[in-house]
Chain A
Amino acid sequence: MEAVSLDSVREGARVTVLQINGDGWVRRLYQMGVLPGSKLEVVFNRGFGPLIVRVGDTEISIGRGIARKILVRVDES
């Protein structure tokens, strides 16, 4: 299975986080439950503006620049 960046994943897909690059936002992402191994559902992604993903029972909004640094595996599209 190949790794893709989160911002390129289509709406409605379920993904597993493989790796998060970068620095400043990593810890905050971890605190919010987005870390390698987490299962996410991409609730909203229209190709521009922030994405909305669901982690567990929470929805979080992730800026496109941050999403680009999150590598995921698509489990179900």
Chain B
Amino acid sequence: MKKITVALVGQPNVGKSTLFNIIARGNAIVSNWPGTTVEINKSTVVHNEYELEFFDLPGIYGLTGVTLEERVARSFLLEARPDVAVVLVDSLNLERTLILALEVLEITGKVVIAVTKTDVAHSKGVHINYELLEKRLGAPVVPVSAIKKIGLDRLFEAILRISNEDRRPLTISYGELEPFISSVEQIIREARNLPSYPARWLAIKYLEGDPEVEEILSKSLADRYKELEEIRGECKRRIGEDIAVFVSKKKISYIQESIVKGAVVRAVVEEKRKTSSVLYNPVAVATLSVLFIFALFIGVFIVNTGYPLTAILVRAGQSELASKIEEYTLSGLVEKLFDYISSIVYGRLGETTLALFITEGLLGGVAAVLVFLPLIVIVMAVLGALEDSGILPRLAIGTHAILQKIGLSGHAILPVTLSLGCNVPGVLSTRAVPSAGERLRLIMLTPFIPCQARLVVLLALATGIGGIAGSVLVPFVYLVSFAVFATLSYASYKLASKKRREEVELLLEIPPLHRPYARVVWWFTWHNVKHFLAKAGTIIFAVSIISWGLQHVSTNLSFTSDINNSIIASGSQKLSFLLKPLGISGESSWITAYALITGFLAKELVISALMTATGASSIQEAVSSLGLTVPSLIALALFIALYVPCLPTLAAIYMESRKARYAIITIVLMIATAYVLGALAYLLANIFL
């Protein structure tokens, strides 16, 4: 069977994910573009004796190489060289979305244009002459409506046809720029060791000042690169404005004058749309947004651990009801299940080393992953619905004014909100932040936002403390963490704005609101959960088993059931002096040190490490056997919330910033903050409590 590779390219909100989902029918494989965390979804479909391999490239506004996604999409087209590129354009925003189509057509002629949302356009009285567009663009133009599954057969036909034809890239005339383009092109054609990119495309991008193209040319042209610089200097003087801007303008007027003119007819005069005033009122939207996010997370927290509902019930004297609810929260149910399996294993195997390994090592590892799974499913489903329905950009607008006060823009709302669930997707989602400076600051600061794993640890410590101090511990730590995040964010903004005149601004498209499509939400959820299981899941599972092993191997490398003789105990003992500022010292302080070391791998492991190392069956018992005072516990809680990003988060920071330096800065910043605030909390608590 002949194989054809097809790339799907489109701007955000043109309906690309919907089309991909319909084509893939749920069968997709996610892979990362080499060296980045940008994902490309792949799905193979058999059609008329052909095997079509679809690659869903990230949604991008253009191929200028400004954002990571744009660079990835661009190198996919240039290097992976798909047989056909399907570019999606929005029938309701034809002129704007055609810009991307032109940019793709300048790289490769093997393009099929899919015009989306045609059913909606039709009902709005927009009529498009597809044949005329086809003739002018020199590429097949197919109207589709993914939701109603219209036009898919014609799309497949066009793809098969184009894959067998030889087509040249489109040449747009850039007027006064042309002589300069041909001079540069000439030099490029004479060069030997250049990658086989279209020469004219390289020439235009070089004149525009594209950093990636500059690097390629300066490397392979060596001595002739000077000539290019002279040509570009002359060109800038002649054009009199930024060349990239000049090129963009030419493209737009080319679309308006030579492509769309006469091919699109609006039969009906557009009715004046009613604008719902609440949705546009900044104060109302900001308040609603914050309340909405707050309610969302409280709801998710309650489903997962029962907190803060259980804490309120306990205060109201309804402890029994509280523990009943806790039993039926997701965490409670998972715990129950594992207790049940453990009892079966012990029943079958007795109290043997094997049984110990299965229940504590293996099952413990699975449990550590499973505890998080339901939570991630809920958070991802809610976020998927928010994104697909078009509510998310409205939250960004609503919170922009507030976030600006701490040196961020509305674009930061997604990373900040996601980080409350888990820092890893929080760091990854900074990609949607258009300003590079703001994005970098967010990558380094989001780990200060307490994630669900830390919530679990804090809740356990709060139980250990008990009393009033225990019940206010969680809100207190969250408040401090947010204050630290806000302060550092503002300070770093001030620093950056002095150095680079950085500004936090908002610029985003507001897609129309609609009911979320179940299929898209499901896809988003499943995709992210799978990701979590593959990446974080394996790390947590492996680490749980390794740490179980370290606890049961003694310093002379034989099996031991007493953790005090283990390798990990002797290692932690050497480090435990570091905890003195938090008021944690003495013989058993190594256990806390050990728990903190495990917590670096995944924060939720702190509690299980404390319990297994003390051999306690409840957190209260563990705390009392460690001899920790209330001030020490408060200091410890604060320290755990802030001390270091977990290993998966660090990996994400490194991958997204592409520099180890930023991961190291984050670690140093967090340890320093945790130390100072932990020690301060210990001192103050000793005075006032």
Complex Cα gap A23–B245 (Å): 10
Complex Cα gap A35–B161 (Å): 36
**Residues of A1-59 contacting chain B, CB below 8 A:** 23-33, 35-37, 43-44, 46, 48-50, 52, 55-59
When each residue 482-513 of chain B gets 1 if its CB lies under 8 Å from chain A and 0 otherwise, what string results?
Answer: 00000000000000000000011111111000
Complex Cα gap A49–B398 (Å): 9
On chain B, the number of residues with a Cβ less than 8 Å from chain A's Cβ atoms is 39
When each residue 383-427 of chain B gets 1 if its CB lies under 8 Å from chain A and 0 otherwise, what string results?
Answer: 000000000010011001100000001100000000000000000
A66 touches B66 (CB 8 A): no
Measured between beta carbons, the chain A residues less than 8 angstroms from B93 are 33, 56-58
Closest to B409 in A: A63
B400 touches A49 (CB 8 A): yes
B401 touches A49 (CB 8 A): yes
| Residue from the list A23, A48, A66 in contact with B505, Cβ < 8 A | A66
B99 at the A/B interface (Cβ < 8 Å)? Answer: yes
Interface residues on A, range: 20 to 34
Complex Cα gap A68–B134 (Å): 39
Give chain A nearest CB distance to B497 CB in angstroms: 12
Complex Cα gap A35–B248 (Å): 9
**Residues of B410-467 contacting chain A, CB below 8 A:** 410, 434-435
Complex Cα gap A52–B409 (Å): 16
| Residue from the list B248, B400, B503, B504 in contact with A27, Cβ < 8 A | B248
Measured between beta carbons, the chain B residues less than 8 angstroms from A23 are 242
**Residues of B90-108 contacting chain A, CB below 8 A:** 92-93, 95-96, 99-100
B92 touches A26 (CB 8 A): no
Q: A31-B99, A35-B252 given as contacts; is B510 within 8 A of A59 (CB)?
A: yes
Measured between beta carbons, the chain A residues less than 8 angstroms from B400 are 49-50, 61, 63
Closest to B120 in A: A57
Complex Cα gap A44–B507 (Å): 14
A29 touches B509 (CB 8 A): no
B556 at the A/B interface (Cβ < 8 Å)? Answer: no
When each residue 55-77 of chain A gets 1 if its CB lies under 8 Å from chain B and 0 otherwise, what string results?
Answer: 11111111101100000000000
B48 at the A/B interface (Cβ < 8 Å)? Answer: no
| Residue from the list B244, B281, B396, B505 in contact with A25, Cβ < 8 A | B505
| Residue from the list A25, A31, A46, A60 in contact with B282, Cβ < 8 A | A46
B61 at the A/B interface (Cβ < 8 Å)? Answer: yes
B397 touches A57 (CB 8 A): no
| Residue from the list A48, A56, A62 in contact with B507, Cβ < 8 A | A62
Measured between beta carbons, the chain B residues less than 8 angstroms from A43 are 275, 280
Measured between beta carbons, the chain B residues less than 8 angstroms from A49 are 282, 397, 400-401
B275 touches A32 (CB 8 A): no
| Residue from the list A25, A61, A62 in contact with B393, Cβ < 8 A | A61
Q: A44-B275, A61-B393, A62-B506 given as contacts; is B435 within 8 A of A24 (CB)?
A: yes
Q: Please list 22 pairs of residues, one from A and one from B, whose beta carbons are closer than 8 Å in the complex, sorted by A's number.
A: A26-B245, A30-B99, A30-B248, A30-B252, A31-B62, A31-B100, A32-B507, A37-B253, A43-B275, A48-B282, A49-B401, A50-B282, A56-B92, A56-B93, A56-B95, A56-B96, A60-B510, A61-B397, A61-B507, A62-B506, A65-B503, A65-B505
- Assuming A43-B275, A60-B508, A63-B505, what are 9 further A-B pairs, CB within 8 angstroms? A27-B64, A31-B99, A35-B252, A46-B282, A48-B282, A56-B95, A61-B393, A61-B396, A61-B509
